[in-house]
């Protein structure tokens, strides 16, 4: 009987510890150093999505040479996150109705379509709730409005075109990084995706960094999220979805 009681107590303690660990792992501190504003290239996002299953469909911007928003990510130096900071601020799709038209073009859920709120909910729950410590981003509407404002000012289509980097060509990653630094005056980050069969690299995202006053800063010292490409590697800036995957125009 004593052994049974001990086992039961052990089980209760272990589960309580596991629950506490889960809460700590999913409800992080909202302390951070910088904000990373990430734009992704829809053709590569679609290619990556369809690599998982050729039956997947994609929704691309009406203008195919437009970059779209991935998110605004509060980040500590040399660490991931914080993430999922405030469960008392659940995503409210109704709040975004005034912005919906712009979001459906500039912050598209390329995988699930313009009418899907799942991408916006994910970005709000994971990153937006951590950004609310800043007055400029302390509501859901402010967070998504700021993303739309940032892509208007720092649209990578215009940044890259300024130095004649255009879709349909291949460039060194360093060429793209230097182009961003030349136009914006600050160092950004480039990420790529590789074709699992050919091992060819495609440009996936460009990230730029801001301080807590939302002033543009160098991304030097920020955690180097996985890039899947080296600085001196050739990367394709595709003008269409690789391998002629089909897309859906909505």
* 201-216 b/e (C-beta count within 10 Å ≥ 16 → b): bbbbbbbbbbeeeeeb
Report DSSP letters for 73-129, one per residue. Answer: EEE-BTS----S--TTS---GGGGGGGHHHHHHHS--TTT-TT--HHHHHHIIIIIH
Residues 13-22: contacts with CB under 8 Å, at least 24 apart: none
User: Would residue 127 show up in a list of annotated catalytic residues for this protein?
Assistant: yes
Q: Per the residue annotation, which of 70, 111, 140, 205 is the catalytic one?
A: 70
User: Would residue 40 show up in a list of annotated catalytic residues for this protein?
Assistant: no
Q: Per the residue annotation, which of 40, 83, 127, 140 is the catalytic one?
A: 127
Q: What backbone torsions phi and psi does residue 185 show, to the nearest 5 degrees? A: 80, 5
* 150-189 b/e (C-beta count within 10 Å ≥ 16 → b): bbeebbbbebbeeeebebeeebebebbbebbeebbebbbb
User: Would residue 122 show up in a list of annotated catalytic residues for this protein?
Assistant: no
CA angle 46, 49, 52 (to 5 degrees): 145
Q: Per the residue annotation, which of 66, 83, 111, 123 is the catalytic one?
A: 123
Active site residues: 70, 123, 127
């Amino acid at each position: 009987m004593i052994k049974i009681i001990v086992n039961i107590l052990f089980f209760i303690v272990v589960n309580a510890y596991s629950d506490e660990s889960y809460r700590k792992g999913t409800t992080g501190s909202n302390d951070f150093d910088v904000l990373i504003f990430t734009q992704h290239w829809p053709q590569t996002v679609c290619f990556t999505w369809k690599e998982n299953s050729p039956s997947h469909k994609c929704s691309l911007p009406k203008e195919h040479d437009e970059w779209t928003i991935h998110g605004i990510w509060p980040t500590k130096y040399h660490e991931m996150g914080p993430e999922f900071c405030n469960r008392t601020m659940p995503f409210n799709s109704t709040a975004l109705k005034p912005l919906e038209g712009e979001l459906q073009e500039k912050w598209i859920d390329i995988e699930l379509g313009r009418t899907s709120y799942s991408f916006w909910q994910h970005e709000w729950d994971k990153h937006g709730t951590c950004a609310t410590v800043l007055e400029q981003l302390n509501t859901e509407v402010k967070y998504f409005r700021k993303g739309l404002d940032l892509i208007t000012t720092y649209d990578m289509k215009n940044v890259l075109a300024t130095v004649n980097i255009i879709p349909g060509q291949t460039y060194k990653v360093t060429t793209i990084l230097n182009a961003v630094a030349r136009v914006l005056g600050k160092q950004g980050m480039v990420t790529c995706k590789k074709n699992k069969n050919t091992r060819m690299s495609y440009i996936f995202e460009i990230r730029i960094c801001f301080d807590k006053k939302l002033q543009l800063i160098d991304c030097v010292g920020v955690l180097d999220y996985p890039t899947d490409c080296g600085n001196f590697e050739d990367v394709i800036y595709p003008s269409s979805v690789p391998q002629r995957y089909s897309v859906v125009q909505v």
